[in-house]
Chains A and B, each alone.
Chain A
Amino acid sequence: MNPVNYLYLAALLFTIGATGVLIRRNAIVLFMCIELMLNACNLAFVTFSRMHGNLDGQIIAFFTMVVAAAEVVVGLAIIVSLFRSRHSASVDDASLMKL
């Protein structure tokens, strides 16, 4: 087996995550799909790191993890405050600016 297969898997996971973002309307599940996409990117980075024989890819994956952690903290705080004001976590309900 060639490590390219890891890249195929990463592409598949990214596609599933992107489809989930388009389909689902629960804000928490949307966030989970975004996490899935970030993880797929990380897998691709780690695989590239192995294919090229240097550690830069792993460093980028490490930074991606840190940024994902920060993003999740802020995103979930937004979801909690949205839920407090509207009693719903559906992204369709936040339509105050709609005509």
Chain B
Amino acid sequence: MTPLATLAAPSTLAAYSTSTGEAVQFWILGTVAVIGALCTVFMRRAVHSALSLAGTMIVLAVFYLANGAYFLGIVQVVVYTGAIMMLFLFVVMLVGVTAADSLKETVKGQRWLALLCGVGFGVLLLGGIGNASLTEFDGLGEANAGGNVQGLASLIFTKYVFAFEITGALLITAAVGAMVLTHRERTERALTQRELSEQRVREGKHLPPLPAPGVYARHNAVDIAGLLPDGTPSELTVNRTLRERGQIRDVSREAIGDLKALEQRSEERLERTRSGEGTQ
């Protein structure tokens, strides 16, 4: 036990209940936290799960502040919701936002068994806390007297200094490990432009540059396939990435009248320029 704890132990400092304001805050925000946690587990899309978890973490930060852990409350917002959740979102974007979990069970009845285990575990945990005699508490008034950050700092740099140093080593190892895991070594030399052109000629597949996207001047966006003479869209004209994602916009079925109006308008303009030339 630390000297601080022995100082705070006398029963004159002990309290039995917090303020009403904190109780109201607890019941409102606690509900939000539980709903956020449930959404994290049961939302099918990973993005929705990540956002729900971020909400839960912000609520927890408020609870830290209410519990007198001012430094941890701020760190929770900055590190967890700021850094870790953004890292999660980044990986979700990298892996594919639309990838929803499959609902097919690989082990039969696993979901219900898991729910049963969860409920049993929760009952055991809550029952254990309920059985403990925790009616009074000391409060952090004494320990936070010289400032929360100062108190934490004096503990970190005296009693826990070795743990702190080891934490530094752990962080460096983690950073290097992440770089090693995601780094891909190039096993062969990258082909030059000349080699690529020679390869194209050797294979005899498609010598000239790929055709441009777009149909008419009004529809030359990169995601619109150009139309072949028979009216079918040509896949070649759209970027490979868009093609693989299936993000090609097909205008071959757009109203014929639309195109007709366009042609008519361009014809009118041509007439005008022609007549303008005639007068000169």
Contact = CB atoms under 8 A, between A and B. Distances in A.
Interface of A: 1-9, 11-20, 22-26, 28-29, 31-33, 35-36, 39, 42-43, 46-47, 49-56, 58-59, 61-63, 65-74, 76-81, 83-84, 88-90, 92
Nearest to B47: A28
B204 to A, nearest CB: 31
Contacts of A52: 5, 8, 137-138
A68 to B, nearest CB: 7
A73 to B, nearest CB: 5
Given A4-B129, A54-B8, 5 more contacts: A11-B122, A17-B37, A53-B139, A54-B4, A55-B4
A29 B39 CA distance: 11
A11 B129 contact: yes
A14 to B, nearest CB: 7
A65 B95 contact: no
Contact of A39 (B2, B57, B94, B184): B57
Grouping DSSP codes into helix (H, G, I), strand (E, B) and loop, the B interface class, with mixed when no group exceeds half, is: helix
A44 B110 CA distance: 30
Contacts, number: 256
20 contacts: A5-B30, A7-B129, A8-B129, A11-B125, A18-B118, A19-B117, A22-B110, A23-B111, A32-B50, A36-B37, A47-B67, A52-B5, A53-B8, A59-B156, A63-B163, A66-B170, A70-B170, A73-B175, A76-B87, A76-B88
Given A2-B135, A26-B46, A43-B63, A19 B69 contact: no
Q: What's the interface size class on B, roughly?
A: 35 or more
Given A18-B118, A49-B140, A1 B182 contact: no
Given A1-B22, A32-B88, A73-B178, A16 B57 contact: no
B99 interface: yes
Contacts of B102: 25, 90
Interface in B59-118: 60, 63-64, 67-69, 71-72, 75-76, 79-80, 83-84, 87-88, 91-92, 94-96, 99, 101-102, 106, 110-111, 114-115, 117-118
Contact of B126 (A1, A8, A18, A92): A8
A-B complex: 9 closest residue pairs judged by Cβ atoms: A53-B138, A19-B118, A53-B8, A22-B114, A15-B122, A20-B41, A70-B174, A1-B23, A77-B181
Most A CB contacts (10 A, CB to CB) among B87, B101, B135, B156 go to B101
Interface of B: 1-2, 4-5, 8-9, 13, 16-18, 22-23, 26, 30, 33-34, 37-38, 40-41, 46, 49-50, 53, 56-57, 60, 63-64, 67-69, 71-72, 75-76, 79-80, 83-84, 87-88, 91-92, 94-96, 99, 101-102, 106, 110-111, 114-115, 117-119, 121-122, 125-126, 129, 134-135, 137-144, 148, 151-152, 155-156, 160, 163, 167, 170-171, 173-175, 177-179, 181-182, 184
A6 B181 CA distance: 38
